[in-house]
């Protein structure tokens, strides 16, 4: 396993991926908006946790929403290699896996190439598995496909000696409160817990517990739950299908929110 040592004076960290790493739907509390550039997310939170232990942390987030694995490998990986950071996180392939007809074996080969190139720089490369979607009525049909991809991801991690954050076995993510209204992106609390879990994997001391039980919640009436399902289908699922049919992406025309390594204040 590639070692990661928090005991250093300076540290550079680059995050690579799609909307999951960009930080949707976790707006900065003082932004007053969820406009582009105001999302935080687990990677930003992780970078700030690192500043509690390292005098100087330089951080870049190259992730862009909607990107497929080929786009991430072609665009973000060369940028990350050029920046030559100490730590790289890569969570990629999810947008491919949820599309009909995609082959997890093919996606995994592209992912392996990305990891190989990142590890060649000497960086610690932190890898994320896919989430177990069995608790979601619509997404549960993808469970087998995600599991297949996860087996590849774990094999790639073993080959290139990479630490792994296993989202599949994070039971706290099987609660609806860990997810935003679109049921695809983490909520602010979901991002907070994932950042804490990532710190645990890296051996970065934190005070809070990512696995703390959720507060008790009253059961939701059947009618209310169905109304939420209809709202989700109208506001998210239908537009998503429309973008797939027309070849559009939510990330078209957008660049990364933190394209350069910048010191965190």
Which residues, 6+ apart, have CB-to-CB distance to 51 below 8 Å?
A: 57, 264
Residue 199 within a domain: yes
Helix, strand, or coil (residue 189): helix
pLDDT of residue 34: 43
What is the enclosing helix (H) or strand (E) of 46? helix 41-50
In a domain, 2, yes or no: no
Distance, C-alpha 98 to centroid of its chain: 15
**Is residue 131, in this structure, part of any structural domain at all?**
yes
Residue 53 lies inside a defined structural domain of this protein: yes
Residue 244 is predicted with a pLDDT of 55
Sign of CA dihedral 75, 86, 43, 141: positive
What's the domain range around 151? 10-263
Q: Write down the pLDDT at residue 41.
A: 97
DSSP element (H, E) containing 193? helix 188-202
**Number of other CB atoms surrounding residue 205 within 10 Å:** 10
Is 188 part of a structural domain of the chain?
A: yes
φ, ψ dihedrals at 92, nearest 5°: -150, 155
- pLDDT at site 230: 59
* CATH number of the domain to which 85 belongs: 3.40.50.1110
Q: pLDDT truncated to tens, each residue of the chain (265 aa)?
A: 556 788 889 999 999 999 999 999 898 876 554 444 578 999 999 999 999 999 999 999 999 999 999 999 999 999 999 999 999 999 999 999 988 889 999 999 999 999 999 999 999 999 999 999 888 777 788 899 999 999 999 999 999 999 999 999 999 999 989 998 887 889 999 999 999 999 999 999 999 999 999 998 777 665 665 666 556 555 655 565 556 556 656 656 678 999 999 999 6
Total domains, the chain: 1
pLDDT of residue 139: 79
**Interatomic CA distance for residues 210 and 170, integer angstroms:** 9
Residue 202 maps to a domain: yes
Q: Specify the pLDDT at position 35.
A: 43
pTM of the model: 0.89
Is 54 within the bounds of a domain?
yes
Predicted local confidence at residue 169, as pLDDT: 96
User: Can you tell me whether residue 16 is helix, strand or coil?
Assistant: strand
- List strand residue ranges (DSSP E) for the chain, in order: 10-17, 56-61, 87-91, 124-128, 164-165, 258-263
Q: Is residue 1 part of a domain?
A: no
């Amino acid at each position: 396993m590639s070692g990661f040592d928090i005991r250093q004076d300076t540290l550079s960290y680059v995050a690579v991926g799609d909307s999951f790493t960009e930080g949707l739907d976790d707006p900065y509390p003082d932004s007053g908006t969820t406009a582009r550039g105001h999302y935080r997310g687990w990677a930003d939170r992780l970078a700030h946790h690192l500043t509690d232990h390292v005098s100087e942390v330089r951080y870049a987030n190259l992730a862009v929403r909607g990107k497929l694995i080929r786009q991430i490998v072609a665009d973000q990986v060369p940028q990350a290699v050029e920046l030559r950071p100490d730590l790289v996180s890569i969570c990629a392939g999810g947008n491919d896996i949820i599309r009909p007809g995609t082959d997890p074996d093919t996606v995994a080969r592209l992912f392996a190439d990305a990891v190989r190139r990142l590890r060649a720089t000497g960086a610690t490369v932190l890898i994320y598995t896919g989430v177990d979607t069995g608790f979601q009525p619509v997404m549960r049909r993808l469970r087998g496909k995600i599991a297949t991809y996860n087996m590849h991801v774990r094999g790639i991690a073993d080959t290139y000696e990479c630490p792994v954050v296993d989202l599949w076995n994070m039971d706290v993510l099987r609660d609806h409160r860990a997810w935003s209204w679109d049921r695809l992106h983490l909520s602010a609390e979901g991002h907070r817990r994932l950042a804490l879990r990532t710190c645990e994997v890296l051996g970065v001391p934190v005070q809070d517990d990512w696995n703390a039980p959720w507060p008790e919640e009253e059961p939701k009436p059947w009618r209310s739950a169905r109304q939420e399902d209809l709202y989700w289908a109208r506001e998210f699922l239908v537009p998503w299908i429309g973008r797939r049919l027309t070849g559009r992406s939510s990330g078209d025309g957008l660049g990364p929110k933190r394209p350069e390594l910048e010191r965190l204040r």
